[in-house]
Amino acid sequence: MIHQKIPNMLYLETTNICNANCIFCAYQYDIRPKKVMDFELLKKVALRYKEAGGKQVSLSPFAGEVFSDSDFFRKTMFLYNLGFERIYTYTNALLFHKLGVENILKCGLKSINIFLAPLEKELYIKIYRNKNYEQLKSNLQSFLKMFYELQDKTIQNISIEFRSHISMQEIENLDDYKEIIAPYIGPNIKVGAMRIFDSWMGMIKQEDLLEGMKIKNHKFLKSTPCARLDMLQVLSNGDTRICGCRWNHNKGIDEDIFNIGNAIEEDIIDMFNKEKVLVMRQSFITGEIPTECQLCSWYEGWENE
């Protein structure tokens, strides 16, 4: 029997719908029809990945907000009951009040990453282009408070990551940060700030960002196969891709070089072991890597692991 390689990480895009329009994100250029992943598709893919020995699942869309999916809790609990070691996602926290913070903390996720702009109303509106700042503040405070009060939660770690044009020290000096975030920082709630951003294949320009934000340089040596090519992403419509974070919006959907099939029709492990995937990994060794990879600033070489 031929040994088949399995993905180090399975990304499941439960939805590609978002309720924000961040200046740094490629969601604004995503031309795909908006869709929620069918539960039966998620079930099929997750069972196969678990059967093959998979351990890590990220419920992170290419660009979207996971809690826009009304069936999200059923999906996360299914994954939790399968026993995956790591189950996590990213969120903008804008819908916490609709779903209930207790429900989210008990939903089967093991960790959660919350992306925020600096906690000042005008900055938030400029960066996230969303006007629900007051609701966001309430959501955050309720969520962090409940995290310490709730005993039977599945979420054990929270990462709060600011998408910012100012430093973490400056963020910490904002009044709303002092009131809403600072009282809850501890071993299981951590914070950080990012001021360097991806261009999403040249779609995001330096002039799109605030002064203090910077587009990350993509021109550096990429001599070993990117670690992201050992990750598998299943999109909301079943399209299956290696990498998961690259998308060339200068081309049409049908020209997506990372697409290796569709999980509705094919086995995800078989797709992951297609010759196309091997050839792409080998391209880093031959020095003939695809344009999409040449322009990528989030390359992760194995020497950096």
Give the C-alpha separation, 242 to 175, whole Å. 42
In what helix (H) or strand (E) does residue 259 lie, and over which residues does it extend?
Answer: strand 259-262
> Quick one: pLDDT at residue 305?
38
Residue 125 in domain: yes
Q: What is the pLDDT of residue 304?
A: 40
Spell out the alpha helix ranges (H) of the chain. Answer: 39-52, 72-82, 96-99, 101-105, 121-128, 133-149, 168-172, 175-180, 268-272, 275-286, 291-294
The three-class DSSP label of residue 10 is strand
**Kindly report the CA angle at 24 between 230 and 254, in degrees rounded to 5?**
50
Tens place of pLDDT for every residue, the chain, 305 residues? 468 999 999 999 999 999 999 999 988 988 889 999 999 999 999 999 999 999 999 998 878 899 999 999 999 999 999 999 999 999 999 999 999 999 999 999 999 999 999 999 999 999 999 999 999 999 999 999 999 999 999 999 999 999 999 999 999 999 999 999 999 999 999 999 999 998 887 889 999 999 999 999 989 899 899 998 999 999 999 999 998 666 666 666 667 889 999 999 999 999 999 999 999 999 999 989 988 888 888 888 754 43
CATH number of the structural domain spanning residue 172: 3.20.20.70
Cβ atoms of residues 65 and 20 within 8 Å: yes
Is 3 part of any domain?
no
Q: By residue range, what is the domain housing residue 202? A: 9-304
Cβ–Cβ contacts within 10 Å for residue 263, how many? 22
Examine residue 145 and state whether it is found in any structural domain, yes or no: yes
| Residue 33 belongs to a domain | yes
Residue 169 counted as domain residue: yes
Residue 2 located in a structural domain? no
The two three-digit tokens of residue 144, written as one number: 């962090």
Written as one letter, the residue type at 152 is D
The helix or strand, by DSSP H or E, that contains position 87, with its residue range, turns out to be: strand 86-91
Number of domains in the chain: 1
- Cα dihedral 255, 290, 218, 238, rounded to 10, equals 40
Residue 263 counted as domain residue: yes
Give the pLDDT of residue 61: 80
Q: In this structure, is residue 272 part of a structural domain? A: yes
